[in-house]
Structure 1
Amino acid sequence: MARGTRARRARWLGALAVGVAAVMAAPGAAVAVDNLPPLQPVAADLNTESKPCAAGESRPYVPAAPRVTAVLNDPVEDDVPGEGNLVHAEFEVWWKDASGTEQRRSYSPVGLLPSGARAGWQLPSDLPPWTVISWRVRADDRKAVSPWSAADDSGAGCEFVIDDESPAKPTVVSAEYPEDVFWSDGVGVYGTFRFDSPSDDVVGYTYRFSGGSNEEVKADGPDGSAEIRFMPTSSGPGRVEVYSVDRSGRRSPSTIYDFFVKEGRAPVGQWKLSDPAGSTSAEATSGPAARAGAGVAFGGAAPSGTSVTSTATLDGTGHGFLTPEAPVVGAGKTFAVGGWVRPAASDHDMTITSQDAGTAAGFTLGVRTGDGEPVWSFGTGGARVQGGRPETGEWAYVLGLYDAETGLAHLYVNGQEAGTATEATPSTVTGDFQIGRARGKNGYRDRWQGEIGDVRAYDRVVVPAEVAQLARRIPQERGHWALETGPGGLSPEAHGGAPLKLAAGASIYNVPADACDPAADPECEPVAGRDPLLGEGHLELDGAGGYAATDGPVVDTGDSFTIGAVVRFADREPAHPMTVLSQGGENGDAFKVRYVPATHTFELVMSHADAQGAEETVTGHQQTPNDAVSRGNKIAVVYDDGSDRITLYVDGQASAGAAFHSAWTSTGGLQVGRSRTADGWGEYLHGSVDEVQVYSGALSERAVAFLGHGVEPCLGC
């Protein structure tokens, strides 16, 4: 016999003994010999509203007359083929009124339910509040009845009390963020908020901070109070709305508590590392100055689009380090450390920052190569978070964070969280703060090789928005050619930069002086497709050797860049692939964007090396030929070195993209209308080009939408 069947049989045998005794004890009662009575409803299957059946001190409180429910069962052996096991519910409720007289009501739902179904009764709304009310239920199969249900072995029914009074409004206090005080503590610093209520039956509180969702906390203080910890993530006015909740589930009117949050505290240690060449120490913006070893050279390159003006270059030897010769990070407390770095190698472990803890490092931030591939890493207290891919010669902003409130270590790379936050227990030993090396059992090790700039240490949480701001690189305009004039075969750059030189087969087209105006002359018939793409003119290319180019590179293709242009084809069905823009080296193109007529596709092609036949990453977007001929298209290319991703935009929309990890710095000039092929220069464009705009840095999608309109995009967007 199956275990479930044995259990059911045991239940109905027990019920049978009780039921038979009860029926036989009643005068004139009889039981059909071929029928087993329904099973006694068990307490676990009884509910007062959503609360379990209970009696005595455990009885539930409810805000109004509840709905009571019960699962009713008939023995499986009573199942009649074609009829099933059907049962009928009988409910009863009773209490004593103010005079001590017992009041009793009963209810039997119309109809039968299948065995195992839940029956219910919405109790009358006129039941008295603040009175102990009992209820019970039994099952009837029209031949026999089950024993009455009970809350416990004493036979007491399920009990409840109706609480018709809402609790009083809560009080709210916070030492760190006092109400209506300008201004308090700051972003990234936790504060305690204490909720209390004068009502003595409050069991918890519901609260919501501005911009957040509803949260709940139990009242665990002896006075019915509760405390929560909250960390502001933005400066300015803050608000928390709190409700008291009593044992019946009734909620009080809300209390509004307003507070005002300062910006996040400044770093406890900051070294810009932009000191003059030849310096032997690094001046500190905050904290003590850092002594520099002989392997440190100031005046190194800096990441473009940041406030960093120069960096320190560490040679990776035992002399390549900086230290304030004092601890900066508190033992076991919340802290964050980070900085701009550009590794000159990625084949061995390297340290950006660390802090001594005896003969070990209390934490380390840097590069790890334990599994073969380099990875950014933040380790503290035996835990390690890893993520992101360091690349030689590539700038990155790296920050490690330990949050003592949550016990989690986090790693951020280029403004985004990398890896998975990990539980950590930091060392309680503190020693000197280090830049460029980490303490080991046998001395210092894992020395940095490359540039480091703007190292910061915080004694608070650096929230994600702040990390994104620290890692932000604002794009810089490197060239804008409106292509409206071309005196002497040179089309000037808008800000006096290098012009585009026009080769044979390339010319600037302007509206002819005798061109007709259809608005003034209805019989005027302008030549289709000959209007300037934008403004007063554009570049025209003959497709047989015409192009325009700069003498040298306009943008560093090994770093983030954005380039855009407007293009219109002269032919509805071009005879061969045509390149709109490219820039490369001696043997190949670092990038090119072209149109492939066989597939009606705009393609962005990124090569992995300056060599003919080098591997390429290609991403494309199909485009209707009619659009490219009649009205033209706005084309833009974005390479984001931080996320290692290329994106092709067509008419302001991100149309195609791909991961790309093999950028290299090109040495050749910007080419408009041609690119390198196996046979030399080729893929000449037959059509018109206008508004060529080039930026170092990756423009946002919002900013890209401005390209090709003759206006400057919002570089900070």
Structure 2
Amino acid sequence: MQSDVTSYQWKLNSGKISDPILVSKGAPLSRTIAPDQAGENTLQVLGYDDAGNSSLTGYYSFNVKGAELPSGIWHLDNSGSDSTTATAHTLTTGGAATYSALARAGSHTLNLDGTSGYAATSQTVLDTGKSFSVSAWVRLKDASRNYTALSQAGTTASGFQLYYSSAYKAWIFNRHGSDIAGPVITRSISAMPPTLNVWTHLTGVYDAAAGSIQLYVNGRPQGEPVSFTTPWNATGALQVGRLHASAAYSEYFAGQIDEVHVWSRALADSEVIQDAALEDEDATDGTAGSPLMALLGSWNATTAASSPIADESGYGHSMALNGATLAIDPDNPGDPDLGLPSRQVMALNGTSNYASVAGPLTDDTGSFTATAWVRLDSHKLADTSKSYQVQVLGQSGTTQSSWGVWYEQPAGTTQGKWYFGRPNKDATGASWTKAQSEVAQTDTWVRLTLVYDAQQASGDETDTATHGALFLYVDTTQVDGDHGVPFTTPWQGGGQIEVGRARTDGAATRYFPGHVASVRVWAGAMNASQIGDMYADEQ
């Protein structure tokens, strides 16, 4: 250390460099810096004098033991078995709890009625007096009162609670200050209200070393960590779907809970992001590392008997035809003389026709994927004195579509491109972030796939504010780069899913001229390999 040093900066591994830390001239500095990866970590430190001159960079490398595995993993695939290899804690259902096939991952999910249904272990799982983390996928059906996803019981109160609060109209991770009736409660609160009937990933982290709690929604921290300095150990059972307070159980969850994970340590931001990505861990079938998808809606005009078009996903979201019709595919008109059948598709006139599904279906702040088989009719766009923007599919908000995929053709040409875009706000004057294709083919069938990956790093891997990216595929070709187009300001569209039109600056616009064969929507960010395999299966 040099005697004229007045500030320091540090950098860990590939993370961003810290802000300058001021000190008295020549004074030493002590900082607690948590490693962010297993194996070798390298810390770099620089000192500066009053004139801004820097010292030589100091390097310190150290090894970190691999992170401890989860203390409990419950896939809830028609049972409460714990998948951890250490001490297993089986969840036993109670009340009106059942299992449903409409799962976020796997074959089933826990289905709770909001009145008496829950699942619980027979023994304590976490020492809540020490660091711990909990996470779950939840699908809330009602917002009229409090609903608890996870907690662990003490004698009178609970050691923690991950829940929806009707008073705050928000997701909350809290800690009770003591094991008494009416304890002081410390809360980490979500920035936006929950969206009902969509899958959302919640994580709560208590960091004993930092003396703080932190809520994450879909991998994003909600505000800054909140100070909590009175930890205590709740020695009761882990509760899925209810709260223990004032020595009684209440706040039973209404909806579905899936993929419950708990750790006896504080997760790093990068680990929360990884957990929210929900990747396949089965190494026996070649799919390890691929995102686990949940089909939320599937509408096939080629097999529809009538309007509305039935939803084949199991969720029962039928698609209404608003002027749109079921018509013959121009490329497959059939030939009765040769015994060749025609193919049925949805026809849209480009001026007033569209189809709609009551929504939303996805948590737009999390990862989602949608596909559509479309055929754009070029003769409706032949007037080159005009420019055209015509939308295939999107999620409507109040003023803008929260997301959409469309075709755009400037004046003076008969060529255009496909776009997948999202605006930065649900208000007039929104700025749009877009992924765009090469010159689009018209008068032929193409499959458009749009992906919003909420966990994709678009900058510093350790900076959660820089995660989120848009991906667009035409057939199997990904456009605009391997890492997508960064988009880090997602917001939730609260309206319906619309096929054949958009919402822009408060008006219904961009009516699509052409045909649509099928539309599907998933929770999760499908990767290129999955998109290619699905395309091959559809040929």
TM-score band by shorter chain is 0.5 to 0.7
Please give the alpha-carbon distance, in whole angstroms, between the structure 1 residues aligned to 2:496 and 2:294: 19
Q: Residue 451 of structure 1 aligns with which residue?
A: 256
Q: How far 1:398 moved relative to its partner? A: 0.5
Please give the alpha-carbon distance, in whole angstroms, between the structure 1 residues aligned to 2:147 and 2:90: 19
Query: Percent same amino acid at aligned positions?
Result: 21
Asked if 1:229 is matched to 2:27, the reply is no
Please give the alpha-carbon distance, in whole angstroms, between the structure 2 residues aligned to 1:310 and 1:684: 39
Within 5 Å, give how 1:57-76 maps onto structure 2. Answer: none
Q: How far 1:404 moved relative to its partner? A: 2.2
Tell whether the 8 Å contact from 2:451 to 2:525 is kept in structure 1 after alignment.
no
Q: How far 1:238 moved relative to its partner? A: 1.4
1:192-213 CA-to-partner distances (Å, cap 9, x unmatched) read xxxxxxxx99999875433342
Q: Residue 126 of structure 2 aligns with which residue?
A: 328
Give me the CA root mean square deviation.
Answer: 5.7
Asked if 1:567 is matched to 2:376, the reply is yes
Q: Residue 310 of structure 1 aligns with which residue?
A: 108
Ranked by relative contact order (alpha carbons within 8 Å, sequence separation 6 or more), the top structure is: 2
Tell whether the 8 Å contact from 1:566 to 1:635 is kept in structure 2 after alignment.
no
Please give the alpha-carbon distance, in whole angstroms, between the structure 2 residues aligned to 1:303 and 1:691: 26
Q: How far 1:567 moved relative to its partner? A: 3.5
Letter in 1 for 2:194: P
Please give the alpha-carbon distance, in whole angstroms, between the structure 2 residues aligned to 1:294 and 1:231: 40
Tell whether the 8 Å contact from 2:349 to 2:513 is kept in structure 1 after alignment.
yes
Please give the alpha-carbon distance, in whole angstroms, between the structure 2 residues aligned to 1:201 and 1:544: 75
- Out of 162, 165, 183, the position equivalent to 1:365 is 162
Query: Which ranges in structure 2 are unaligned for 5 or more consecutive residues?
Result: 178-184, 279-290, 303-324, 334-343, 363-367, 422-449, 456-467, 503-509
Asked if 1:466 is matched to 2:271, the reply is yes
Asked if 1:600 is matched to 2:388, the reply is yes
Shifted more, 443-452 versus 465-474: the winner is 465-474
Please give the alpha-carbon distance, in whole angstroms, between the structure 1 residues aligned to 2:501 and 2:6: 75
Tell whether the 8 Å contact from 2:346 to 2:516 is kept in structure 1 after alignment.
no
Letter in 2 for 1:408: S
Asked if 1:437 is matched to 2:242, the reply is yes
1:577-607 CA-to-partner distances (Å, cap 9, x unmatched) read xxxxxxxxxxxxxxxxxxxx98733346758
Tell whether the 8 Å contact from 1:507 to 1:541 is kept in structure 2 after alignment.
no
- Out of 402, 408, 417, the position equivalent to 1:633 is 417
Tell whether the 8 Å contact from 1:479 to 1:694 is kept in structure 2 after alignment.
yes
Tell whether the 8 Å contact from 2:100 to 2:108 is kept in structure 1 after alignment.
yes
Q: Residue 213 of structure 1 aligns with which residue?
A: 17
Query: Which ranges in structure 1 are unaligned for 5 or more consecutive residues?
Result: 1-165, 168-199, 484-500, 510-538, 576-596, 610-614, 676-682
Please give the alpha-carbon distance, in whole angstroms, between the structure 2 residues aligned to 1:504 and 1:259: 67
Tell whether the 8 Å contact from 1:567 to 1:635 is kept in structure 2 after alignment.
no
Q: Residue 507 of structure 1 aligns with which residue?
A: 331
Tell whether the 8 Å contact from 2:140 to 2:256 is kept in structure 1 after alignment.
yes
Q: Structure 1 residues 543, 250: closer, same or farther in 2, change over 3 A?
A: closer
Q: Structure 1 residues 309, 463: closer, same or farther in 2, change over 3 A?
A: farther
Q: Residue 134 of structure 2 aligns with which residue?
A: 337
Letter in 2 for 1:377: I
- Out of 247, 253, 260, the position equivalent to 2:63 is 260
Letter in 2 for 1:289: H
TM-score, L = length of structure 2: 0.58
Q: Structure 1 residues 390, 408: closer, same or farther in 2, change over 3 A?
A: same
What secondary structure does 1:430 align onto? Answer: coil
Q: Residue 458 of structure 2 aligns with which residue?
A: none
Q: Structure 1 residues 239, 323: closer, same or farther in 2, change over 3 A?
A: same
Q: Structure 1 residues 674, 463: closer, same or farther in 2, change over 3 A?
A: closer
Q: Structure 1 residues 209, 216: closer, same or farther in 2, change over 3 A?
A: farther
Please give the alpha-carbon distance, in whole angstroms, between the structure 2 residues aligned to 1:657 and 1:226: 39
Q: How far 1:346 moved relative to its partner? A: 2.4
Q: Residue 417 of structure 1 aligns with which residue?
A: 221
Letter in 1 for 2:390: F
Please give the alpha-carbon distance, in whole angstroms, between the structure 2 residues aligned to 1:464 and 1:242: 22
TM-score, L = length of structure 1: 0.45
Q: Structure 1 residues 542, 446: closer, same or farther in 2, change over 3 A?
A: closer
Q: Structure 1 residues 601, 323: closer, same or farther in 2, change over 3 A?
A: same
Q: How far 1:369 moved relative to its partner? A: 0.4
Q: How far 1:439 moved relative to its partner? A: 1.5
Q: Structure 1 residues 695, 448: closer, same or farther in 2, change over 3 A?
A: closer
Q: Residue 354 of structure 1 aligns with which residue?
A: 151
Please give the alpha-carbon distance, in whole angstroms, between the structure 1 residues aligned to 2:49 and 2:501: 76
Please give the alpha-carbon distance, in whole angstroms, between the structure 2 residues aligned to 1:657 and 1:354: 29
Please give the alpha-carbon distance, in whole angstroms, between the structure 2 residues aligned to 1:260 and 1:267: 21
Please give the alpha-carbon distance, in whole angstroms, between the structure 2 residues aligned to 1:437 and 1:472: 26
Asked if 1:378 is matched to 2:170, the reply is no
Greater Cα radius of gyration, structure 1 or 2: 1
1:149-200 CA-to-partner distances (Å, cap 9, x unmatched) read xxxxxxxxxxxxxxxxx86xxxxxxxxxxxxxxxxxxxxxxxxxxxxxxxx9
What secondary structure does 1:389 align onto? Answer: coil
Q: Structure 1 residues 429, 573: closer, same or farther in 2, change over 3 A?
A: same
1:80-118 CA-to-partner distances (Å, cap 9, x unmatched) read xxxxxxxxxxxxxxxxxxxxxxxxxxxxxxxxxxxxxxx
What secondary structure does 1:570 align onto? Answer: helix
Please give the alpha-carbon distance, in whole angstroms, between the structure 2 residues aligned to 1:317 and 1:690: 43
What secondary structure does 1:398 align onto? Answer: strand
